Structure 1
Amino acid sequence: MTKLMSWFTDTVSFISGAMIRIFGATDDEYPATGIQPYSGDPSNEH
């Protein structure tokens, strides 16, 4: 019975952790990029 309760507790903890990760606030820390100027040469094919 103790093993069953332990398995159930671990399963609920795993699923709730996944739900929090999916639906929680983002923790992405991407740098602010803004507008990037074009510094290449135009193509002569067109």
Structure 2
Amino acid sequence: MSVPKVVVDVVDYFSGAFGRIFGLRDDQYPESGVQPFSGDVYDRKHAKKDFER
């Protein structure tokens, strides 16, 4: 490979990455909004008692 070809390949590689990072969004995820929390709240007082070694 010649040096100019390597330089062109490197520039193409980084310009493609730059365009992917800073380009328009192309994701097709649905807008789901805020989801309700239905788990248990962490309680530091009781955590050690349940997980003693």
TM-score w.r.t. length of structure 1: 0.63
Q: CA deviation at 1:14?
A: 0.3
Q: Report the more deviating stretch, 12-21 or 2-11.
A: 2-11
State how many pairs are aligned.
38
Q: For residues 35 and 11 of structure 1, what CA distance do their matches in structure 2 show?
A: 42
Q: Which runs of 5+ in 1 are unaligned?
A: 38-46
Which residue of structure 2 aligns with residue 19 of structure 1?
A: 18
Q: Which runs of 5+ in 2 are unaligned?
A: 37-53
Aligned partner letter, 1:17: G
Q: For residues 17 and 23 of structure 1, what CA distance do their matches in structure 2 show?
A: 10
- Over the residues paired in the alignment, what is the CA RMSD in angstroms? 2.2
Aligned partner letter, 2:29: Y
Task: Give the share of equivalent positions with the same residue, in percent.
Answer: 44
